[in-house]
């Protein structure tokens, strides 16, 4: 059996592959779904008489904010529609609090900390690193944050400023938080501190490709839990229309909203209103966004099915994999601490996978066993080969074979 694995690995090496499954990106066919945006005519004056070609409307044009209000289930007054990146809105939220939070800007707080569920999104860790804010990790359960672990973190640490979560199809392990989980999260956070910030990165809010549990909109739960002044929810069209060419949305209230508006006022005079109008014209309403997302789902689902069908061929002696119902990633957890080796073996035969540890703070996976697979960008044929390479490399590393 070992001979067979070695020979399979070497035959894959002979193919001189060059396949990249490092990042969760839409493929060309997905991007083509929004091609109409490329040559849409936009009227220069919007329905409220605003000249969208000029400066003004720092929080976004009315129609784009209304779209955000229906997406995030918040009141119009609570919405900012920004430019193309929700990560930028998250960053601006942290920066605004760092510089101007009342009564104490975060920059004046000793050993500030933020909770991040792990595995998580590398850019979240990097953002907190930028501010010298220590990331404290908590594990995820299938229904969201491990509440007991979070309670214990809060009991044992001072100066925890908040938590960042991806509550639907979490990057990379695909968890979808239950309403109960989010309510508990709100309760323990607000009991810890009335300035504890709940930052929800809803990057995959509308990105189901298989039936997924319904969630009460996060903003609504925040209102019901009386924490809307401590909550920020962001999302974007980066994986709806064009990566880096869509729109971003934020729901916030009270001091947070004021701070972010102030921060943005220093950095951006106004967002790209022409692109906002283009998107508003492209998506007349939520229903048309939903229809559009069904088309994305139909293109993405077969890719995940290919990945599952290959991963299923390995017994659980090697590890286990997540089966998300949306989002862009599969997480493979190896039984042995060999993630680094598997990824290096893949790289040696031309299959690039997200570096081991990238889904943990400081890039260090304490168990060296979490591997993120991003199956969407490449075509189905390449994906089949990449997955074959992955399971072969996994077996080589598991049995510590010489190749
Ligand atoms: C959890 C998460 N947040 C944010 C982003 C980036 O979103 P945007 O393009 O809106 O900045 C991604 C993209 O990979 C993501 O996975």
CATH value at residue 159: 3.40.640.10
Residue from 118, 199, 201, 202 to probe ligand 1 pocket by mutation (most atoms less than 8 Å from CB): 201
Measured in Å, residue 200 CA sits from the centre of ligand 1 at 12
Per-residue pLDDT of the chain (403 residues; tens, 9 = 90+): 899 999 999 999 999 999 999 999 999 999 999 999 999 999 999 999 999 999 999 999 999 999 999 999 999 999 999 999 999 999 999 999 999 999 999 999 999 999 999 999 999 999 999 999 999 999 999 999 999 999 999 999 999 999 999 999 999 999 999 999 999 999 999 999 999 999 999 999 999 999 999 999 999 999 999 999 999 999 999 999 999 999 999 999 999 999 999 999 999 999 999 999 999 999 988 999 999 999 999 999 999 999 999 999 999 999 999 999 999 999 999 999 999 999 999 999 999 999 999 999 999 999 999 999 999 999 999 999 999 999 999 999 999 999 9
Q: Which of 284, 304, 332 is the last residue of a domain?
A: 284
In a domain, 106, yes or no: yes
Do 107 and 254 reside in the same domain of the chain?
A: yes
pTM above 0.85, yes or no: yes
Do 141 and 258 reside in the same domain of the chain?
A: yes
Instruction: With CA atoms as reference, report the closest residue to 85 among 242, 254, 279, 309.
Output: 242
- What residue ranges line ligand 1, CB within 6 angstroms? 24, 85-87, 121, 166, 171, 201, 203, 236, 238, 248
Q: What is the DSSP string of 174-204?
A: -----HHHHHHHHHHHHHH-TT-EEEEE-TT
Do 13 and 62 reside in the same domain of the chain?
A: no
Cis before 103? omega within 30: yes
Do 128 and 254 reside in the same domain of the chain?
A: yes
What is the domain extent for residue 295? 2-24+290-398
Contacts of 346 (CB under 8 A, 6+ apart): 352, 353, 389, 390, 393
Residue from 121, 126, 376 to probe ligand 1 pocket by mutation (most atoms less than 8 Å from CB): 121
Do 298 and 277 reside in the same domain of the chain?
A: no
Do 300 and 153 reside in the same domain of the chain?
A: no
Q: Give the per-residue pLDDT at 117.
A: 98
Do 274 and 295 reside in the same domain of the chain?
A: no
**Which residue's C-alpha comes closest to atom 2 of ligand 1?**
203
Q: Give the per-residue pLDDT at 1.
A: 84
81 has which bridge partners? 249
In a domain, 29, yes or no: no
Instruction: Quote the Cα angle for 193-196-200, to 5°.
Output: 150
In a domain, 349, yes or no: yes
In a domain, 68, yes or no: yes
Give the domain CATH number at 348.
3.90.1150.10
Dihedral of the CA atoms 184, 187, 193, 196 (nearest 10)? 50
Domain count of the chain? 2
In a domain, 32, yes or no: no
């Amino acid at each position: 059996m070992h001979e067979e694995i070695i020979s399979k690995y070497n035959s894959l090496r002979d193919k001189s592959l060059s396949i990249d499954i490092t990042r969760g990106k839409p493929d060309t066919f997905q991007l083509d779904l929004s091609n109409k945006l490329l040559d849409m005519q936009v009227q220069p004056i919007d329905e409220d008489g605003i000249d969208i070609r000029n400066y003004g409307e720092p929080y976004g044009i009315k129609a784009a904010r209304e779209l955000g209000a229906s997406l995030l289930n918040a009141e119009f007054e609570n919405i900012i529609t920004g430019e193309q990146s929700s990560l930028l809105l998250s960053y601006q939220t942290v920066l605004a609090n760092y510089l101007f939070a009342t009564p104490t800007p975060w920059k004046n707080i000793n050993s500030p900390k933020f909770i991040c569920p792990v595995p998580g999104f590398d850019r979240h860790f990097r953002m907190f690193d930028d501010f010298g804010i220590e990331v404290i990790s908590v594990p995820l359960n299938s229904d969201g944050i491990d509440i007991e672990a979070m309670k214990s973190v809060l009991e044992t640490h001072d100066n925890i400023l908040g938590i960042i979560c991806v509550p639907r199809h979490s990057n990379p392990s695909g968890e979808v938080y239950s309403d109960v989980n989010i309510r508990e999260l709100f309760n323990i956070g607000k009991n810890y501190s009335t300035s504890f910030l709940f930052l929800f990165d809803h990057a995959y809010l509308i990105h189901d490709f298989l039936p997924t549990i319904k969630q009460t909109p996060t903003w609504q739960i925040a209102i019901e839990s009386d924490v809307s002044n401590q909550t920020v929810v962001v999302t974007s069209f980066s994986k709806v229309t064009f990566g880096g060419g869509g729109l971003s949305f934020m729901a916030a209230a009270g001091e947070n909203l004021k701070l972010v508006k102030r921060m943005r006022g220093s950095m951006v005079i106004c967002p790209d209103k022409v692109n906002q109008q283009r998107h508003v014209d492209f998506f007349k309403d939520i229903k048309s966004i939903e229809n559009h997302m069904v088309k994305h789902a139909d293109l993405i689902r077969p890719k995940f099915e290919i990945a599952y069908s290959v991963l299923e061929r390995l017994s659980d002696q090697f590890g286990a994999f997540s089966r998300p119902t949306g989002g862009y990633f599969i997480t493979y957890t190896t039984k042995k601490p060999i993630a680094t080796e598997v990824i290096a073996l893949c790289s040696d035969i031309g299959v690039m996978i997200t570096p081991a540890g990238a889904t943990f703070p400081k890039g260090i996976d304490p168990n060296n066993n979490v591997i993120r697979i991003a199956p969407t960008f490449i075509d189905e044929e390449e994906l089949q080969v990449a997955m074959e390479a992955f399971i072969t490399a996994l077996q080589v590393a598991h049995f510590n074979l010489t190749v």
